Amino acid sequence: MQCRRWISAAALAAASSFTNVANAAGAGLSVHVLDQQTGMPATAVRVTLDARNAADGAWHTISQGTTDADGRIKALLPAGQMLATGDYRVTFDTGAYFSKHNTPAFFPEVPVVFHVQDAKQHYHIPLLLSPFGFSTYRGS
């Protein structure tokens, strides 16, 4: 029993230490896609991250990723890169996702434009998806 308590305490301390390191790095961008029709995570959804050039308003692609088995991309930014203050667009390729599931859908893609005010914060964008509608918000 004593050994079990020590292992639990060590595991808790290690997890706490990892969380503190992750929060210190903190900044970044993650997404999560849930299919409201099935009630399941939307796996293998392609997601593109673009940044708007403040000078001319043109968009340029920063990165792309694909949602995992839990419908998530935990780090959409390339390793070592951080967001800067400015406008960004995350585009979810919903047409390909629904096509792969033989489901007709109205929205072939869902672009979500957002503004980063504090580049030190972590930004999370959940997408609740169905063939004929979607909802999104700033998550945590």
Residue 117 domain-assigned (yes or no): yes
The tally of domains found in the chain comes to 1
What is this structure's pTM?
Answer: 0.80
pLDDT digits (tens, 9 = 90+) for 52-103: 999 999 999 999 999 999 999 999 998 888 999 999 999 999 999 999 999 9
**What range defines the domain where residue 129 resides?**
27-136
Encoding tokens for residue 115? 């503004």
| Pair of tokens at residue 139 | 């998550």
In a domain, 2, yes or no: no
CA distance linking residue 80 with residue 77, whole number of Å: 8
DSSP 8-state code for residue 139: B
pLDDT at 26: 63
Assess if residue 21 is contained within a domain: no
Two structure tokens written together for 40: 């399941």
Residue 95 within a domain = yes
Q: Is residue 40 part of a domain?
A: yes
> What is the spatial distance between Cα 68 and Cα 102, in angstroms, rounded to a whole number?
20
The verdict on residue 3 lying in a domain is no
The amino acid at residue 57 is G
Cα 21 → chain centroid: 20
We report the CATH number of the domain holding residue 54 as 2.60.40.180
Who wins on pLDDT, 49 or 27? Answer: 49
User: What are the backbone dihedrals phi and psi of residue 71, each rounded to the nearest 5 degrees, phi first?
Assistant: 75, 20
pLDDT digits (tens, 9 = 90+) for 6-28: 333 333 343 333 333 333 356 79
Decide if 11 is inside a domain: no
Contacts 24+ apart (CB under 8 A), 72-77: 72/30, 72/31, 72/32, 72/33, 72/41, 73/30, 73/31, 73/47, 74/30, 75/28, 75/29, 75/30, 76/28, 76/29, 76/30, 76/31, 76/47, 76/49, 77/28, 77/29, 77/49
Domain assignment of residue 10, yes or no: no
